[in-house]
A and B are shown apart, each in its own frame.
Chain A
Amino acid sequence: MKALADSKANKYFLAAVLLIAVLIPQVITSPSIMQILILTLFYAYLTSSWNLVGGFAGVLPLGHSAFIGIGAYTSTILYLHYGLSPWFGMLAGGVLAAVIGVIIGIPTLKLRGAYFALATMAFGEGLRVLVENVDTIGPLKVNGPRGLLINLTGNSFIDYQFTSKASYYYIILALLLIILLITWLLMRSKIGYYLSAGGEDPEAAAALGINVPRYKVMAMAISCFFTALAGTFYAQMFLYFYPKSILGLDMSFEIAFIALIGGRGTILGPVLGALLLRPLNEFTRIYLGGILPGMHLVIFGLILILVMIFQPRGIQEPLTRLYRRILYRIKGS
């Protein structure tokens, strides 16, 4: 009975959050604040995609920026050379990323976690070095370290270009809701249970006849697919990108660590992590970066260590507790 009331309250709460999220662009007009909000949601989306494999499969992927890059380059090259709509390119990039994720996952997800972490990291760095050193692949222009520029067409849905920030905001919000829905469905599906069984105790799960690596590879494929979609989004929003901006270690690590601080393996943990850490990161960089370069990363490192020592399951745990307590207060009165 109590659980039922709780779930009802949860529904109201979620509906309220969603309503606020939808209404924000109508209230806020400042483009710079909108930009920060879009990037925050962008990161929330990335960490949630990462969470599918990093959270549920119990491994540590450290090369997810590679898949962002695959998405961005695929859709942009298809658009620039063949005039294909980036919406189509987005899906093509997603499929390509999923295939590559499976190729990397099949041999390495059978091994201990350290190997998978190092393999994904080496793949991410290797791809960055490759792209930086290649000007053309066959007839296709990659432009090496200079990156790719998408020509401005103005407001055009088919070209995935919009003059208002709000459009991008709604696109990334929709993507985020989709990934959260998929996470939710996955958690309640057979795959989700198999994965969590494999994460808890791989030997016991294998003894019960669960082919744990196979489900990990599946999770990897889904995660890579959605990560690549974010790459296209990034390319279309900025209309310019270069290898260092989307490929490489920094991005991969940031995604992984925001998800981990938020709470991996939960639906809302990575989102909470992004909502709290991204703005914090922006502001410390803006206000401290000038005086003390690197201070914002010292703070980030400290948060990382403190959260891991005191809240190894991430900050979603105390926040959920707080939410419950407030809920009880309201009901009690």
Chain B
Amino acid sequence: MSGTALLYTDWLDEMEIIFESLLNGLLMGSIYGLTAVGLTLIFGVLKVINFAHGSILMVGMYAAYWCITLTGMNPYLAIPIVVPLMFYFGYFMQQFVIEPVFKVEKDVREPITVIIVTTGVWYILDNLALMIFGAKYRVVHTSVTGKLFELPGDIYLLQPKVYGFILTFISGLLLFWFLKTTLMGKAIRATSLDRDAASLMGVNQYKIYRTAFGIGTAVTGLAGCVLVPFYSVYPSVGIIFDIRAFIIVVLGGLGSIPGAILGGIIVGIIESVGAMYMPSTWTELVIYGLFLLLLFIKPTGLFGSKHDF
């Protein structure tokens, strides 16, 4: 009698642990999704994989780090400073670095040279950060760092992850609203569907590229702000998120914003639930394997449009 009761509580405990890691995967996954939204947006409009994406995230993280460390402010108050800065960072990067190459190859729908330029930007940004800030891992202690929310049933969630989850959904909805209703949003969507037709309708395509790139980096900056309270900052931090973001973006469908967030959540859940059964390096392998399998079976991903592959 007591034996079965014990088994039952064991089972309950295990369910609680699984539930907790599911929730944690959901939270962390949504933040992964947020790191990938900018990448998918830029791809959707420019048809270019931005290899500097991880470095942009790194820049955003350093910006947030210094904002918080120097002023001692609440970590989420850094957002209104970092996000506009990152918008202009991306805007001018597109204007002065990527646009010249883009114009040379404007007849090519998917210019490889542009991908290479973004990789050059990656090398420069990462190594400049190494030269300026050193290879040190920097951790910022904020009012939310290490704090937990306690849910009934002994379930603990890290506060900064919960805030990150909320911010992901707010920014996702805002972006969705912006693209659907505003004139600029419509112009961006038109350009991503058919850049020549959009140009003929009076849309200045280069301005759209700059704006889209700016929005992409701004969202990535937001992701940086969300990560800093619980993730250490170092010059090559972007690479980890880079590859993951590429996978997420293909999983969700290149160019799709809801797809990126959902793809992020899937990857997050695989990581956290998988970590209960195997070493974390193996979950990484599962994700790579899943990604290749997906490319073979359904390359459009979850929400990708047919004409984009």
Contacts and interface: CB of A to CB of B under 8 A. Distances in A.
Contacts, number: 127
Interface in A76-133: 104, 107-108, 111-115, 117-119, 121-123, 125-126, 129-130, 132-133
Interface in B82-140: 97, 100-101, 104-105, 110, 112-113, 115-117, 119-124, 126-128, 130-131, 135
A119 B288 CA distance: 9
Q: With a 10 A CB-CB cut-off, give which of A108, A122, A297 has the most chain B CB atoms.
A: A122
Contacts of A267: none
A31 interface: no
Given A122-B247, A293-B131, A312-B105, 8 more contacts: A114-B43, A114-B49, A118-B247, A119-B295, A126-B288, A249-B243, A301-B122, A305-B97
A126 B284 CA distance: 8
A60 interface: yes
Given A108-B295, A308-B101, A257 B119 contact: yes
**Would you list the 5 A-B pairs with minimal beta carbon distance, nearest first?**
A301-B123, A294-B127, A126-B288, A304-B120, A305-B120
10 contacts: A113-B110, A113-B112, A121-B243, A123-B292, A126-B285, A129-B285, A295-B127, A297-B126, A298-B123, A308-B117
Chain B binding surface SS class: helix
Contacts of A302: 120, 124
Contacts of B47: 114
Contacts of B130: 293-294
Interface string B221-265: 000000000000001000100010011001000100000000000
A46 B145 CA distance: 47
A125 B122 CA distance: 18
Nearest to A113: B110
B110 A114 contact: yes
A292 interface: yes
Nearest to B288: A126
A216 to B, nearest CB: 14
A240 interface: no
B309 A115 contact: yes
Nearest to A291: B131
B54 to A, nearest CB: 11
A294 B126 CA distance: 8
B282 interface: yes
A312 B101 contact: yes
B149 interface: no
Contacts of B156: none
Interface of B: 43, 47, 49, 97, 100-101, 104-105, 110, 112-113, 115-117, 119-124, 126-128, 130-131, 135, 235, 239, 243, 246-247, 250, 254, 279, 281-282, 284-285, 288-289, 291-292, 295-296, 299, 308-309
Nearest to B282: A133
Given A295-B127, A298-B127, A119 B97 contact: no
Contacts of A60: 112, 115
B117 A304 contact: yes
Q: With a 10 A CB-CB cut-off, give which of B105, B247, B288 has the most chain A CB atoms.
A: B288
Nearest to A301: B123
B279 A133 contact: yes
Contact of A305 (B104, B117, B296, B299): B117
A217 B125 CA distance: 35
Contacts of B299: 107-108, 111, 115
Interface in A59-85: 60
Contacts of B289: 126
Given A115-B250, A117-B115, A294-B126, A308 B131 contact: no
A283 B170 CA distance: 50
A170 interface: no
A294 B131 CA distance: 7
B285 A297 contact: no
Nearest to A253: B119
Nearest to A292: B131
Q: With a 10 A CB-CB cut-off, give which of A292, A300, A301, A308 has the most chain B CB atoms.
A: A308
A300 B123 contact: yes
Given A133-B282, A133-B285, A112 B110 contact: yes
Contact of A298 (B105, B131, B296): B131
A304 B117 CA distance: 7
A298 B128 contact: yes
A125 B120 contact: no
A260 interface: yes
